[in-house]
Amino acid sequence: MYIPLAASALALFSLASGQLANYGRFTASSPTEAMTIGSIHNVLALFNLALDSKNFEALRDVYTTDIKARVARVPTNDIDSLIRFYNGTALGDVVTQHTAHTIFVYDLQRESAKSISYANALYFSKVQEGQIFARDVDTFYERYDDVWQRQKDGRWLIKERSINIYAQVGNSSLVPPTQPTFNTSKV
């Protein structure tokens, strides 16, 4: 059966509207809100780049100093303990690729906001001599629920983070022992 694209998109939007009714309106109502949403998207991208480049100090531009988060079953209550956690893991020894997609920013206030983002974290095996690409990969399918706080300098940083890991697929021997195989974490 053929359904015109416009009708399909309208049906999907109607379905999504009903499911997302708890999160409020879908579009920015002002240029300031649009800039806030763009800023939050950029900070989420910086988080992924900081992990993949192993530049964990860059997380200071992602999280507030008093961040409340649980990462790999390890609760953290400040940015220094979070950076120590990442520096102490084998994450630095593994090639990774973190991506965030389906980012939804809602409950925009003057000094706070919330977001939901889905992400994938890929861990690649080391390329052996004679190989061109990594042979094995382990993939995590994740959801981040974040509470954002606007800083005095205008930047938006994550104040609270809940991580839900829905699935792990692949070669689990690639994952550092401090990473969960599956977990639903709440702060």
Q: What is the rounded average pLDDT for all residues in the chain?
A: 79
Render pLDDT for 139-180 as a digit per residue (tens, 0 to 9). Answer: 989 999 999 999 999 999 999 998 888 888 887 666 655 444
Give alpha helix (H) positions in the chain: 5-19, 31-53, 79-88
| pLDDT score for 91 | 66
Render pLDDT for 24-71 as a digit per residue (tens, 0 to 9). Answer: 555 667 888 889 999 999 999 999 999 999 999 999 999 999 999 877
Rounded CA gap, 159 and 45, in Å? 16
Model confidence at 182: pLDDT above 80: no
Q: Taking the alpha carbons of 5, 7, 13, 15 in that order, is the dihedral positive or negative?
A: negative
| pLDDT score for 51 | 92
Cβ atoms of residues 144 and 24 within 8 Å:
no
| pLDDT score for 99 | 93
Greatest C-alpha distance within the chain: 57
Rounded to a whole number of angstroms, the distance between the first and last alpha carbons of the chain is 46
| pLDDT score for 124 | 84
| pLDDT score for 10 | 36
